[in-house]
Structure 1
Amino acid sequence: MLLEKVKQILRESDSQRKASGENFNIFFAANIWRKETTICRVLKEIIDVRGSNPVANICLKLFCGEVLQIDVDKEAVEKAVIVREKQIKNNRRIDLFLNIDNKAIPIEVKIYAEDQAEQCADYYEYAVNSPLYYLTLDCHEPSPESKRALTDEQIICISFRDHILFWLDKCLDNSDVKRIISVSTILKQLRAVIVYMTSQEGDKDIMDISNEICLSRENYRAAKAIEISLITVRIQMMKKVFGELSKHMEALRGKGLNCEQILTYETKKLVEPYYEQRKNTLPCIDYVFEEGKYTFRFEIWDNFYFGICKWNDEAKWNAEITADEQSLFKKGKYWQDNNDGSSQSWYWWKYCFNKERQCNFRSCDGEYEKLFDENGFKEKMEELFSVVDECLAKIGLINP
């Protein structure tokens, strides 16, 4: 009964938002809501006292206090310099770089992109009297490969879900900000995007659902059980996806696939801590080939991707790839031109789904929700298998 009532509340809310025009949002209309570069540009313009926002000084002071947890005075705010995509060594770029009150503050923004090797460690070198701030949807930590030896004092995890939403609410509560309609409208639309990205419902929805839960002890117990069960549900879904993938890959042995299957996500117990401890444990399945030299790996960071890594048989994990090895690999038969990236850990990697149809296993929203419908699950798996089979045939691991 409680679930049915909640579904009814959400259906009515969706209808009301559409009728009121609340769903008319430039971020969604232009399909730029999930792009890190766009979000960073907007954040920078909101807090840049040298930019176009006439109340940037108010927004910046609130940003320092509510997001970065530092206290700055009016004079420091007026002299602040905000840089977007500050270029550093190795042609890397820090998403947001704030110079204020004798501090140099690097902020790395991760919405759907994956970490790069030593990325956070490199960025921290440019911090002065400040930690590196790592801004994600849900406050998860960076990968060990990116973080390296950084301590908890040197890198602070912040989130859109908590810190940025709370900051935006503080800005929208300010009378001087409210008075500038163009600014307050953008802040409201950005807030709506973040609510959507972090799988939260609107304030009224939450209140209506809360009131329904408070009607009885039975409703409260049901809601509490659902809350506890969600992590288990997500663990089960990740394992279900890996299970279907494993079945499909085993069926490809009839097409010549000759790889040792290692269910790494099980042998190293990588799924449970991914959700229970919010660790980036990199749950994966490996298909080791060419006498243990390489692995064709399927891995989850936030999104799902696959590619070829150098295999370390002793550690049952991928080994670091040197520049010479990468150069040589590009000339070989296993190179895939149509890829989405490479790193010290990957000769190449490629998303399992179209970039606009990613299943994000961290935020668990959007396309991910389709996995809980029978037809939706089948559709996503068929999309994955199609991409994988085409790639395997191109590099000669299966027959066309």
Structure 2
Amino acid sequence: MQINADNLIDETNLLHRTHLLLEQHRAFSNQHGEHFNIFSILRMERKEVETHSRFIYELLNHHGRHGMGTTFLEMFITDVLSLENPQGKYIVKREDSIDEDRRIDFTIESADTLIGIEMKINAADQCNQLHDYYIDLEKRAPHKKIHLYYLTLLGTPPSPGSLNGLTDNKYDLIAFNSHIVDWLTSCTKEAAMKPILREALVQYKLLIEKLTGQRQEFNMELAKQLASNSNDLKAALAIENAIVKSKIMLQERFWTMLKQALENQGKAVTIYGGKSVKVISQNYYQNSKGNKNIGLKYPSVNTPV
């Protein structure tokens, strides 16, 4: 095997310059303490009910401790849901039951309108979920306008199983990375004279930007560098190929060590998803990335003969 010295120098130089760029980015990105995020510190970033549902509901609740009355709610209706802002009393509910086992994340009701919002952070769709929610809203308010929304990090559509034939004109998509971020920006401006509330909104907005991949200044700067220099781009592609091979090596090492540890405990271990540990490690990255049907197996109970 021959190694081209010039190519190796290019790749080494790129790694060094990338490391320097990353260090500069880390220092700059935290100059105002952006890395100090209370949601991240408490490991609550992706908790759908305890974090996102509670925080958003508190803002929508006109009796909320924010002391802003219906300001945040009215902006939510017009800016996020794109609905006219009807006059009169609103009733906002969180975790609103539709049956014994399921709850819609938010409902907002006025004299002539009933709004349902189903939110997904990590959870998968349930069978017939959006279909059943729409039917339930119609039954509750047969003489009101029904609006159903599906809120995800990036505006991902619901699964066919959740819709169960529910047509596109029966629901709308809204997204954290656009609708909610813009709404939080507006809320922050409204809360300018309430510094504690304002900073809480800023913290939550930073969390949403992190979850939706919007805080990627380093990636953009590096992408510009690679696009402007053909040698750097060639070096990056070589590094990319090497990274895949290193991942395969690390996964092979993991399965080998785990297999040995189990066998040392007297387990009759077999490999599934391929002929060997090496094959399943290669297949994971090269043939079907993310395939969960690979690994090791052994009897959990010794069956009497």
> What secondary structure, in the 3-state scheme, does the structure 1 residue paired with 2:182 have?
helix
CA gap of 1:67–1:219, structure 2 versus 1, over 3 A, is farther
What aligned pairs does 1:1-400 form with structure 2 within 5 A after superposition?
Answer: 8-37=20-49, 38-73=51-86, 75-76=87-88, 79-100=89-110, 102-128=112-138, 129-172=145-188, 174=189, 176-201=190-215, 205=217, 209=221, 213=224, 218=228, 255=268, 385=295, 389=297, 393-394=299-300
Q: RCO (CA 8 Å, sep 6+): is it higher in 1 or 2? A: 2
TM-score where L is the length of structure 1: 0.52
Given that 2:105 and 2:117 are in contact with CA atoms closer than 8 Å, whether structure 1 keeps it comes out as yes
CA gap of 1:12–1:216, structure 2 versus 1, over 3 A, is closer
Amino acid at match of 1:144: P
C-alpha distance in 2 between matches for 1:22 and 1:117:
39
Q: Which runs of 4+ in 1 moved over 4 A?
A: 1-10, 254-261, 283-286
Given that 2:25 and 2:218 are in contact with CA atoms closer than 8 Å, whether structure 1 keeps it comes out as no
Given that 1:6 and 1:209 are in contact with CA atoms closer than 8 Å, whether structure 2 keeps it comes out as no
> What secondary structure, in the 3-state scheme, does the structure 2 residue paired with 1:89 have?
coil
CA gap of 1:256–1:92, structure 2 versus 1, over 3 A, is same
Gaps of 5+ in 1: 273-282, 287-297, 299-384
> What secondary structure, in the 3-state scheme, does the structure 2 residue paired with 1:11 have?
helix
Given that 1:106 and 1:126 are in contact with CA atoms closer than 8 Å, whether structure 2 keeps it comes out as no
Shift of 1:260: 9.2
C-alpha distance in 1 between matches for 2:201 and 2:25:
21
Shift of 1:396: 7.8
Shift of 1:147: 1.8
Summarize deviations over 1:77-135 as a string: whole Å, max 9, x none: xx111111111214211111111352211111111112222222221223352332111
Amino acid at match of 2:70: N
**Map of 2:5 onto structure 1:** none
Given that 2:268 and 2:299 are in contact with CA atoms closer than 8 Å, whether structure 1 keeps it comes out as no
C-alpha distance in 2 between matches for 1:153 and 1:4:
53
C-alpha distance in 2 between matches for 1:154 and 1:395:
51
**Map of 2:142 onto structure 1:** none
Which has the higher Rg, Structure 1 or Structure 2?
A: 2
Gaps of 5+ in 2: 1-12, 139-144, 275-282
CA gap of 1:87–1:185, structure 2 versus 1, over 3 A, is same
CA gap of 1:140–1:208, structure 2 versus 1, over 3 A, is closer
Summarize deviations over 1:8-31 as a string: whole Å, max 9, x none: 555323223445322222211211
Shift of 1:70: 1.0
Amino acid at match of 2:198: S
C-alpha distance in 2 between matches for 1:7 and 1:59:
42
CA gap of 1:394–1:120, structure 2 versus 1, over 3 A, is farther
TM-score where L is the length of structure 2: 0.66
> What secondary structure, in the 3-state scheme, does the structure 1 residue paired with 2:57 have?
helix
C-alpha distance in 1 between matches for 2:186 and 2:71:
10
> What secondary structure, in the 3-state scheme, does the structure 1 residue paired with 2:149 have?
strand
Shift of 1:197: 0.8
